[in-house]
């Protein structure tokens, strides 16, 4: 113990992987099986996922690999048969249904492939809807909604109904709506699948900007390997199992 070189070095040694991984959500050994005509079909087969705080995560996998099933569990729409799910420090897999819908409304924003806008409401009113449910005052709504519309580049489309908007514009409304309640986590299930590639790329860039500006965690699924370019983290799913995980361009798991 005469050589103190190692000791000196120890002060400089930080664990970069541990320091940079701040989880917002975590799935641990999650399993899900569907029942089809008395046959059990395992769909998620022991999955571990870590969604980092204020990062952009892509869940990449072919159709049928289990992306929607996983995102629904992460988003507290569905529960696992087995395993633990923690979102914003809450153990959601064990929560009662009433508590879960409150928790979901406060903490999670959703963006769907087919936009899921209410067709009889304008762009403005679609964004307003979750705020009304949350009991936001008229003055809060009046301040926030124009800001959100502006952030997604739709300041001049406030009065348009979804039918009077393009696919890309509808998805922008859906993004603004998902952000309205300042969620900690935004989940988007193949948000670019129904858009042409140029519009899809614009929507990706917008979501990327929202992650950085609002410091939210964003996870979105896709079967298009092109989308990896926009992501901090990539989780590759195959047949209900994690195949690879990439963080900041480095492979961390296989
Ligand atoms: P992805 O979103 O990657 O296309 P899904 O999560 O939708 O994958 O589906 C994964 C697998 O689970 C598929 O084989 C699908 O047929 C099956 N599946 C999904 N939902 C149900 C359900 N409600 N009942 C039975 N099987 C289902
Ligand atoms: Mg799907």
pLDDT band at 227 (very low <50, low <70, confident <90, very high): confident
pLDDT band at 1 (very low <50, low <70, confident <90, very high): very low
Residues with CB under 5 A from ligand 2 (ion): 67-68
Q: Which CATH number applies to 22-253?
A: 3.40.50.300
Q: Over the stretch 64-100, which tens digit does the pLDDT of each residue have?
A: 999 999 999 999 999 999 999 999 999 998 889 889 9
Q: In the chain, what are the domain boundaries?
A: 22-253
Instruction: Point out the ligand 1 atom lying closest to the alpha carbon of residue 70.
Output: 6
Instruction: Point out the ligand 1 atom lying closest to the alpha carbon of residue 69.
Output: 6
The whole-number average pLDDT for the span 134-141 is 96
Q: Over the stretch 151-182, which tens digit does the pLDDT of each residue have?
A: 999 999 999 999 999 999 999 999 999 999 99
Name every protein residue with a CB atom under 6 angstroms from any ligand 1 atom. Answer: 34, 36, 41, 43, 61, 63-69
Centre of ligand 2 to C-alpha 58, Å, is 13
In order, the DSSP letters of the chain are ----HHHHHHHH---HHHHH--EEEEEEEEEEEEEETTEEEEEEEEEEEEEETT-EEEEE--TTSSHHHHHHHHTTSS--SEEEEEETTEEGGGS-HHHHHHHHHHHEEEE-TT----TTS-HHHHHHHHHHHTT--HHHHHHHHHHHHHHTT-GGGTT--GGGS-HHHHHHHHHHHHHTT--SEEEEESTTTTS-HHHHHHHHHHHHHHHHHHT-EEEEEES-GGGGGG-SEEEEEETTEEEEEEETTEEEE-
Centre of ligand 1 to C-alpha 193, Å, is 17
């Amino acid at each position: 113990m005469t050589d103190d070189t190692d000791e000196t070095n120890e002060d400089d040694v930080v664990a970069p992987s541990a320091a940079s991984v701040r989880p917002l959500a975590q799935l641990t050994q999650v399993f899900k099986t569907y029942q089809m005509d008395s046959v059990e079909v395992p769909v998620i087969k022991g999955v571990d996922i870590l969604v980092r705080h204020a990062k952009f995560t892509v869940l990449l996998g072919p159709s049928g690999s289990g992306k929607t099933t996983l995102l629904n569990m992460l988003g507290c729409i569905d529960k696992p048969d087995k395993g633990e799910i923690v979102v914003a420090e809450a153990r959601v897999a064990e929560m009662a249904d009433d508590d879960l819908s409150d928790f979901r409304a406060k903490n999670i924003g959703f963006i769907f492939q087919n936009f899921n806008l209410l067709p009889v409401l304008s762009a403005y009113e679609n964004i307003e809807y979750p705020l009304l449910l949350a009991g936001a005052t008229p003055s809060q709504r009046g301040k926030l909604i124009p800001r959100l519309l502006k952030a997604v580049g739709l300041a001049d489309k406030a009065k348009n109904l979804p039918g009077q908007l393009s696919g890309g514009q509808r998805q922008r409304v859906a993004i603004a709506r998902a952000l309205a309640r300042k969620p900690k986590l935004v989940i988007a299930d193949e948000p670019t699948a129904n858009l042409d590639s140029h519009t899809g790329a614009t929507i990706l860039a917008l979501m990327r900007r929202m992650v950085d500006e609002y410091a939210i965690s964003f996870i979105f699924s896709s079967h298009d390997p092109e989308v990896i370019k926009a992501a901090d983290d990539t989780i590759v799913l195959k047949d209900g199992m994690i195949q690879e995980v990439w963080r900041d361009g480095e492979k961390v798991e296989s």
